[in-house]
Each structure stands twice: as C-alpha cells, then as structure tokens.
Structure 1
Amino acid sequence: MAKEQRRYLALLGSINIGGNRIKMVDLKAALEAAGFKDVSTVAASGNVILTDSRDAPTIEAELESTVQGTFGFKSCAMVRTEAEVRAAIDENPFHGIGPEHGSDKMVHSIFLNHQPEQASVDALIEEHKSKGSERLALGDRVLFLDYVHGVGVSDLSSKFLERRLGCKGTARNMNSLKNILSKMV
C-alpha cells in the first residue's frame, strides 16, 4: 500500500547568500528531477513547498544531497508540515505583542535540525543579557529570536548560534513565514 502524500515546507539554508546563487526555476527543476512532486518556490531564499510520502528526515537528506550534487555547495534543509510552520508563527512569544518588541521584519523563527539542550539555550540567554537587546526563547526545534534593532547589528549570527546550541538552523522572519504559510494552505 502506498504511503500518504503530504505537503511540506522545505527551508533551505545558504541559498542566495554569499556565492551560493541559485535561480528558483533551476532549484525547482532539480528537485522535480530528484522525484519531488508539486514543487513550488516562495521568494528567492530557499523556501520550497513540495509533496512527498517520505518522512521529514529522509526528505531533508535528499534535499541536501540534491543541492550539493546539482549546485556544488552544502545547504542544510529543515522540513516542516503546515502545522509546524503555523506553530513557528503562533508560538513565537515575540510576535505581535506590542511596540516594545521588534517588527515582523525583526522577529524570526530559526528552524533547527534537532532540539538543542535547554541548558545550552539558558546559558546563551544568560550570557547575552549584558551584550544586546535581542530576546530569545526555545520552541519545538525552533529558536525564537527578536532582533529588535536588526539582524545586521546583532552579535547573534547563525554561525554563533550553531556553535552555542550545537545544531544547524535557518531563519525566516515573520513576514516571510506568513507569506509562505499563505501559499501552503
């Protein structure tokens, strides 16, 4: 009996940053050639909606392999269901709660490849208290981050967070996530 096809969002890291330039039409074609169905891209930053019957970890590995094999660089892939994308918006404690927090452009959900240790997150929050105005909180395989004054002025870069938390991640702001979610439903 065939497994049920599910709709997923694949968030690919390192797409169209630095020298890792990919046209979304080329990414779509590569993923279709790899066997993914109903592939569509949202914006030019590695947001891919697709249909597949496999589980998320299997899809992530296939996406990473396809990007490296076709385009010649490593990308991390975080695959989430519509419900998980909605939760990354709705459960973000910094989203939509007032002017003392950053705008939807500054509030991010960083999708992680696994759940970090709570002690690592607590240590990061404690360490950063005296260094910046950003706010952090942990969800289910997602780090919520309010950059308040902007990503470019923050010390909390993706590489820094990866070292501190021991996991890879790729971030999307609330504006992007709302746009992506509207395309999934």
Structure 2
Amino acid sequence: MTRYCAFFESLIVGGDRLSMADLRYAFAREELENAETVISSGNVLFEYEDRPSDGLEELLAYLMRDRFDMTAFVAVRNRDEIRAAVEENPFVGSEDTFVHTVLLERQPTAQQFGRLVADHGKLGGEQLALGQRCLFVDYARPPAESLLTMDFIAKRLGCRGTARNVRSLARISAKM
C-alpha cells in the first residue's frame, strides 16, 4: 500500500458541509484505507495500492459527486511528489507563509505558462515558476491581498489547481 494525500479545493470537513466520519466511511467503501485529515480540513491522508495519482484524482472526484453531491477539485500526490513540490520550489527560504505550491490537475504547456506570466505582469509583485504538475508562487504578501487568484491562474493555464503553503506541504510530507 502507498500513502497518498488528497488536497481538496474548497472542502469543509467537520463543519456544516461534510463530517469526517462520513468522509472516512466513503473512503473505506472505495478501499481507500486509513483516511485522516491533516493540517486543515482540505487535506486527507489515505493508503491505496500504488498507482498513478491522476487516476486517484478521478476516483475521488467521482466519490465526492456520487456520495455527497459535491463537486470538488482534488489533487492527489504521494510522499515523493509532495516532497518535490517543496524542495523544487525556488522561492522556499523567503517568507515561507507567503510561498505556495499550486497543485495542478495536469502539466501546462510552456505557452500557457507564458500567457500566465504575461497577464500576471499587470497585477502585482508575485513571482512565478513552473514545476512538474505544479506552479510555484511567492506572493511576497498575504495571498488574500493578491489579485493572482485561482480563477485567474486556471484560465491562463487551462487547468484547475489548489494551493498550499510550503510549510503545510512540508508538515504533510513529514507526517506521511
């Protein structure tokens, strides 16, 4: 069995939308074992047989629609992929609470990344770099103050994503 983390976008676990017990039960029904939330409610650790993480993303998206009537983007990564999302981020070491990795549903083309960089130049002082199925962002200020939103990123890259700061990713990797 391989340990994975599912990074859900806009998922509230334990609040009014979805209980952790219901989520664990749904994971168990799909043979996704030992499900537990970590760091914040949008991150779920689980174990499953070794397979490409994009297939698990499709499975979890289906699970959320089928069991909970919720549409949620989910990025799934194994420990090595999470470690790489931290270690390959060129902005690590500055104010790490402002340094994020956006976990993407697929690899954008160089042209799509170029469009993001060109259009972003009009917005602000964030720094951007492209990784393997991820986008590295140094917001240089609180991300909530930035005009560089997930919708803006998704439109330019042609794919969805969900962002986590590198401190959280490092803690998740260590827990795995």
The 1:43/1:23 distance shift into structure 2, 3 A limit, reads farther
Q: Please show how residues 10-159 of structure 1 align to structure 2 within 5 Å.
A: 10-16=6-12, 21-53=17-49, 54-96=51-93, 98=94, 103-159=95-151
Deviation per CA, 1:7-61: give whole Å up to 9, x if none. 21211122129x9832333322221122211222213332111111143222111
Stretches (4+) displaced over 4 A: none
Pick which of 85-94 and 55-64 moved more.
55-64
Q: Which amino acid aligns with 1:27?
A: L
Aligned-partner Cα distance in 1 for 2:16–2:52: 27
TM-score by length of 2: 0.90
How high is the sequence identity, in percent, across the aligned residues? 39
Deviation per CA, 1:48-80: give whole Å up to 9, x if none. 111111432221111111112222211112111
Decide whether the 8 Å contact of 2:98 with 2:138 is kept in 1.
yes
Please tell me the root mean square deviation across aligned C-alpha atoms, in Å.
1.9
Aligned-partner Cα distance in 2 for 1:118–1:60: 24
TM-score by length of 1: 0.86
Secondary structure at the residue paired with 1:133?
coil
User: Of residues 2, 9, 15 in structure 1, which corresponds to 2:5?
Assistant: 9
Aligned-partner Cα distance in 2 for 1:16–1:105: 21
Unaligned 5+ segments in structure 2 are none
Aligned-partner Cα distance in 1 for 2:119–2:155: 14
Q: How many residues align?
A: 174
Q: Which amino acid aligns with 2:91?
A: F
Aligned-partner Cα distance in 1 for 2:163–2:76: 13
